[in-house]
C-alpha cells in the first residue's frame, strides 16, 4: 500500500530520540521532508546526523531546537519549520513524559509543569501550525499521549489525568476543523522501549526494592503479546494515521499496546 507521503512536509515535536525519532525516521523513509525537534541542541544535531546517515543522499531533514512546553516557543518554531520545509502538511505533537509519583508526593508545581507539557504544548503547537495546515491539501495532526488515558497506570497520576484532556482536545478539533480538511487523531502508546521507559523501570525498582529487569518482567506479564514494543512498531501505526492512506480517519484514539489495555472500546 502506498501511504501517499512522498513530498509531504512534517514537523515532529520531541523527536531527537524515542518515539518521536522513530516517527521521523519512518516519515523520512516514506519520502517526507521532516523537521525534528528537541531541547538539547547537541542531542538534536546527533539525531539529525543519524537520520541523514539512514536516509542517504536523498534524506531531507532539518533540526529546529526549542522547548515546546514553554508558552512562546511553538509560535516561533512552526513558522521556521514551515519556511525550511516550504509549507506544512503533517504535525506530530509530542513532549517528554512527566515524573512518576504517588498523588501525595506531587507538588502544585509538578501539576503545573505536567499541564504545560502534556496539554498546553499540544494546544500551542496546533495553534501555531494552523495557518500552514489550512493551506495543505493533506493536513493531518497526531498527538502522542499514552494508554494511561484509557487505563490508569500506577504511580503515574500526572500522565493518567492531564493527557485525557489532550485526547479530548484532538477529538474536539477533529469536529471543529474537519470541515476545513484537517484530520486530528491521538495515538496512545503502551510500553515501548525508549530511554523514558528505562527511567521509569529504574524508578519502580527503587520504589519496590527490586531491579529494573524484574520490573520489566512484571509489566511484560500483563501484556498479552508478552513483550514491550520496539519504537518502530509504534511509529508504523503513527505514520499510517498521519498519512493520506488514513484519509477517512479523524477523531480516533489508537492504543498501540500489545493488548495491555483490557477494555473493549
Ligand atoms: N515509551 C513509552 O513506552 C511510552 C508509553 C506511553 C506514553 N509515552 C509518552 O510518549 C512521549 C514520548 O515518549 P518517549 O518514550 O519517546 O520519551 P523519551 O525517550 O524521553 O524522548 C522524548 C523526546 O522528546 C524530547 N522532548 C522532551 N520534552 C520536550 C520539550 N518540552 N520540547 C521539545 N522536545 C522535548 C526529548 O529530547 P530533549 O530531552 O533533548 O528535549 C526526546 O527527544 C512521552 O510523553 C511519554 O511519556 C511513552
Tens digit of each residue's pLDDT (9 = 90 or more) over 118-155: 999 999 999 999 999 999 999 999 999 999 999 999 99
**Residue 197 CB–ligand 1 contact under 6 Å:** yes
> Which three cell numbers mark 52?
541523514
> Which three cell numbers mark 175?
469536529
- Helices 195-208 and 212-220, packing angle to 10 deg: 100
Position 192 confidence tier, pLDDT thresholds 50, 70, 90: very high
Kindly give, in sequence order, each residue whose CB lies less than 8 Å from that of residue 105, ignoring residues fewer than 6 positions away: none
Nearest protein CA to atom 14 of ligand 1, as residue:
18
Segments making up each domain of the chain, as ranges: 9-192+232-255, 194-228
> Which three cell numbers mark 198?
528505562
Query: Best mutation site among 12, 19, 40 for ligand 1, i.e. most ligand atoms within 8 A of its Cβ?
Result: 19
Q: What pLDDT, in 10s, does the model give residues 18-48?
A: 999 999 999 999 999 999 999 999 999 999 9
Position 59 confidence tier, pLDDT thresholds 50, 70, 90: confident
**Residue 45 CB–ligand 1 contact under 6 Å:** no
Let me know if 154 is exposed, middle or buried by CB neighbors in 10 A (0-12, 13-18, 19+): exposed
Kindly give, in sequence order, each residue whose CB lies less than 8 Å from that of residue 124, ignoring residues fewer than 6 positions away: 68, 71, 73, 74, 75
Cα(223)–Cα(57) distance, integer angstroms: 40
Fold of 9-192+232-255: Rossmann fold (3.40.50)
Q: Is 90 exceeded by the pLDDT of residue 58?
A: no
Q: Is 90 exceeded by the pLDDT of residue 57?
A: no
**Residue 196 CB–ligand 1 contact under 6 Å:** yes
Cα(81)–Cα(75) distance, integer angstroms: 11
Amino acid at each position: 500500500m502506498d501511504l501517499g507521503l512522498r513530498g509531504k512536509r512534517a514537523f515532529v515535536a520531541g523527536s531527537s530520540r524515542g518515539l518521536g525519532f522513530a516517527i521521523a525516521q519512518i516519515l523520512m523513509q516514506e519520502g517526507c521532508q521532516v523537521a525534528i525537534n528537541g531541547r538539547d541542541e547537541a542531542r538534536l544535531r546527533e539525531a539529525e546526523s543519524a537520520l541523514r546517515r539512514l536516509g542517504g543522499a536523498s534524506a531531507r531533514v532539518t533540526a529546529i531546537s526549542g522547548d515546546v512546553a514553554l508558552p512562546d516557543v511553538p509560535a516561533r518554531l512552526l513558522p521556521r519549520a514551515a519556511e525550511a520545509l516550504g509549507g506544512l502538511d503533517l504535525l506530530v505533537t509530542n513532549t517528554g513524559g512527566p515524573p512518576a509519583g504517588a498523588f501525595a508526593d506531587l507538588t502544585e508545581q509538578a501539576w503545573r509543569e505536567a499541564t504545560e507539557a502534556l496539554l498546553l504544548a499540544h494546544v500551542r503547537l496546533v495553534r501555531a501550525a494552523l495557518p500552514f495546515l489550512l493551506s495543505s491539501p493533506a493536513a493531518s495532526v497526531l498527538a502522542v499521549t499514552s494508554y494511561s488515558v484509557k487505563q490508569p497506570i500506577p504511580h503515574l497520576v500526572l500522565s493518567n489525568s492531564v493527557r485525557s484532556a489532550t485526547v479530548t482536545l484532538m477529538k474536539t478539533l477533529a469536529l471543529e476543523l474537519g470541515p476545513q480538511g484537517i484530520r486530528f487523531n491521538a495515538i496512545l502508546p503502551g510500553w515501548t522501549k525508549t530511554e523514558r521507559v528505562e527511567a521509569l523501570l529504574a524508578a519502580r525498582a527503587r520504589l519496590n526494592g527490586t531491579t529494573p529487569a524484574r520490573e520489566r518482567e512484571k509489566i511484560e506479564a500483563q501484556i498479552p503479546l508478552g513483550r514491550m514494543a520496539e519504537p518502530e512498531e509504534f511509529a508504523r501505526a503513527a505514520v499510517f494515521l498521519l498519512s493520506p492512506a488514513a484519509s477517512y480517519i479523524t477523531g480516533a484514539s489508537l492504543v498501540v499496546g500489545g493488548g495491555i489495555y483490557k477494555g473493549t472500546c
